[in-house]
Amino acid sequence: MPSLPEILVKALEDLLDKRDPLRKAERAMARFENSPSPSPSPSPAKTAMAEVETETDAEVVSEPASPGNGGQSPYKKPATRPAIPAAIRHTVWLRDRGQCTWRHSGGSRCPERSMLELDHIKMWCRGGKHSEENLTLRCRRHNQAAAEQELGTGFMAQARKHASEVVGPKESMSDWSPTKQRYG
């Protein structure tokens, strides 16, 4: 004969069992696990597919460049260009006296002193380095002119067209610069 406290505890347990969402879920799981379900047996087609997949994996593994071997993979994204060190930027700025260094055909220097950019004399994409000797101050217009001289106007027109498709016509022509980094 159960005592009163035992009856109360049992009643409480039953109540919790019905109300508690966790217990409800546990009950549902128990039902699911106990219910007879057909054991998954792979169909012949599926087995064949698995074999094909295994062969594909083996090919990938046998590639000479495996991931994690220190950037030797041909699929590695090209490294982004590091920022020009501040000391070099300052040196170039002082040397060029904060003015565009572009020389017009008559020999006069471009007077532009605003919107200046550090331009690579030998372009970064062609192996030019972040060095004092390879950097010069140019205004945006002459930055672009220099790039057109280096790469050809056809390439630049194509690049600008591509840029206008990517960023939209509003920003394309005036704000886009192919290789350059604004000073400061």
User: Which chain residues interact with Zn ion by CB under 5 A?
Assistant: 100, 102, 110, 112, 139, 142
Nearest-approach distance from CB 111 to Zn ion, in angstroms: 8
- Least distance from C-beta 121 to Zn ion, angstroms? 15
Distance, CA of 173 to CA of 120 (rounded, Å)? 20
Q: Cβ of residue 92: shortest distance to Zn ion, in angstroms?
A: 15
Q: Give, as one character, the DSSP assignment of residue 127.
A: T
- State which residue, 112 or 150, has the beta carbon closest to Zn ion: 112
Q: Which is nearer to Zn ion, 102 or 183 (CB)?
A: 102
Token reading at 49:
């597919």
Least distance between Zn ion and beta carbon 148 (Å): 13
Of 100 and 118, the one with the shorter C-beta distance to Zn ion is 100
**Is the Cβ of residue 135 or residue 139 nearer to Zn ion in the bound state?**
139
HSE, side-chain direction, 13 A CA sphere, residue 91? 11
Secondary structure percentages of the chain, helix, strand, coil, to 5: 55, 10, 40
Question: How far does CA 112 lie from the centroid of its chain?
Answer: 35
Instruction: Give the residue ranges of DSSP H helices in 43-109.
Output: 44-61, 86-95
